[in-house]
Amino acid sequence: MRDTIPTASRRTFVGLGAGVVAAAFSAPGRRAVPPGFAAVPAPGKAPAETRYRTADVGGLEIFYREAGPAAAPVVLLLHGFPTSSRMFRNLIPMLSDKYRVIAPDYPAFGHSAVPARSDFHYTHAHLSEVVEALTEKLGVTRFAMYVMDFGGPIGYRLMLKSPDRVTGIVIQNTPTFGEPTDGPLWAAELAYWKDGSPEHRDAVRFKLTPDAVRNQYLAGTSEPSLIDPDNWAIDSALLARPGVDEIMLDLLYDIRNNRQTVAEAREFFKTHQRQVMIATGVNDPLFPGAAMKPPADMPGIEFHPIDSGHFALEDHCAEIGSLTRGFLGRVCGLHDRGRGKGLERDGSES
């Protein structure tokens, strides 16, 4: 196995009580289904237990959450920055009665290994390769995806490489029809992407501070009291591990290499509109609703504006979970009628 940066174990994290963080990582949220929405699965039916597992993928220990029947259709949940598969802790029980749900942590995120930068090339393309290798390791041949933030370009690469493996895609707060990188919010990144200089790299470092992480969770939410502060406490603890800050700056720099992938995904969505659903926090300063809304030439894409911010699952999980179940039921039915094929072109078989 490659050398890895010394990291905290699953029971201890820098600067935080071991029991508090370990419990927060393992347990689902205290209120998985907010008031006003029907529980899913139905009342009286216990949700499938979530398992916390690791797999050796190319010499790296990759952590993943898994729940649901082993023979059921697979749903792959791909998390964003700077969090981990923990962001799906409330969504997983809403899907796992009907689907085999798999939510991995990328290298250097969550509980997965943190290989040194000298031993591992930290790019979104490489993270996609690790996720692909994990699916193969787990015997997954076809799957639907739920992608968010970094998970978008990571999942798009899987979709573009092997479209026959993908039955449908749910998109939340991630580049979809282009990179919304205009205006002062993206000024530091734009300068960094232009020359990669140490000066501009340091100027982006504020994105890793506890205040910046907290703001990602709260910006755009109408009721901040619904957002669990454990979110930014845990994410910040993981970012504080030795060497992780430099890894994240590498990945933030690599965003510039996602533009072609996003452009190709846009064209792909145009020809596979019925198998794409967007449920996104429209008040997100990073990926606002106007940037996430399907263009006029893609009227067949299902679009649901959610009154929330970047991490919309934190305060609207019941709504998004219900929409996701409905969408998956439809695309899996379309998948079955397509005689085992993956994503189909609108109006014709793939």
Active site residues: 310
User: Which three-class secondary structure string do you get for the chain?
Assistant: CCCECCCCCCCCECCECHHHHHHHHHCCCCCCCCCCCCCCCCCCCCCCCCEEEEEEECCEEEEEEEECCCCCCEEEEECCCCCCHHHHCCCHHHHCCCCEEEEECCCCCCCCCCECCCCCCCCHHHHHHHHHHHHHHCCCCCEEEEEECCHHHHHHHHHHHCHHHEEEEEEECCCCCCCCCCCHHHHHHHHHHHHCCHHHHHHHHHHHCHHHHHHHHHCCCCCHHHCCCHHHHHHHHHHCCCCHHHHHHHHHHHHHHHHHHHHHHHHHHHHCHHHEEEEEECCCCCCCHHHHCCCCCCCCCEEEEECCCCCCHHHHHHHHHHHHHHHHHHHHHHHHHCCCCCCCCCCCCC
> 278: which strand partners?
171, 303
Separation of alpha carbons 125 and 140, rounded Å: 20
Residue appearing with tokens 């995904």: 265
CA–chain centroid gap for 169, Å, is: 12
How far apart, in whole angstroms, are the C-alpha atoms of residue 265 and residue 145?
14
Question: Is-contact 336 325, C-beta < 8 A?
Answer: no
Query: CA-to-CA distance for 211 and 227, rounded, in angstroms?
Result: 15
213 token code pair: 């992480």
